[in-house]
Amino acid sequence: MNRTDEVLGTTIQSAHSALVVVDVQQKLLPHMHDAEKVERRVIQAVEVAGHLNLPIFVTEQYVKGLGPTVSKVKEALARFDAYTPIEKMSFSCFHEPAFVAALESKEIDTLLLCGIESHICVLQTALSALDNEFDVYLIGEAAGSRSKAHKKEALQRLRQEGAVVGSVEMFAFEILQTATHPAFKAVQKVIL
């Protein structure tokens, strides 16, 4: 079956899934459309993934020029011992050997993506993931671009290529599957 004909066949499973926080950096975030909302949703995604014990990977594009991950996101990551950024120069995270090695070490096959910019680094990472037979779930509300139109175009392209686009709450409850899940109350507090 051609990859563009596929989508995630079932709900997201916690085994073999990981959150990837792409380039939410000091000199980039302030220029994003709805920057505060994107930052808030990225933090929610980190907290949900942390409570669900999902691996979390963080990338930073050209740190010397764009600065590190913004403080509030970095603090959320640190609460789950997940602030170990992988610096990159390529737009796709998959062109960074350390990123690929990190995924392989955890046997990841589903990526939950968030970050900036939707139409550049997030898009190219998602396309590379799809090309490499990963399932891709883009947390649309936790992704941003300078232009609202660019984000819309990126989301449309990713849907066409076979990625699933959803929200923090959707991925949280798909993984939880039941109110009896041990992390339910902690996740519920993050969402509500």
As annotated, the active-site residues are 23, 88, 121
Residue 80 contacts residue 50 (beta carbons within 8 Å): yes
Give the CA diameter of the chain. 46
Q: Which one, of 145, 165, 142, lies nearest residue 37 by Cα?
A: 142
What whole-number distance in Å separates Cα of residue 102 and Cα of residue 176? 25
Q: Which one, of 126, 108, 104, lies nearest residue 117 by Cα?
A: 126
* Residue at 153: amino acid letter: E
Q: For residue 43, how far is the Cα from the chain centroid? A: 11
Residue 67 contacts residue 24 (beta carbons within 8 Å): no
Q: Which one, of 64, 90, 86, lies nearest residue 20 by Cα?
A: 86
Please compute, for residue 19, the number of CA atoms within 13 A of its CA located in the half-sphere on the CB side: 34
What whole-number distance in Å separates Cα of residue 134 and Cα of residue 42? 21
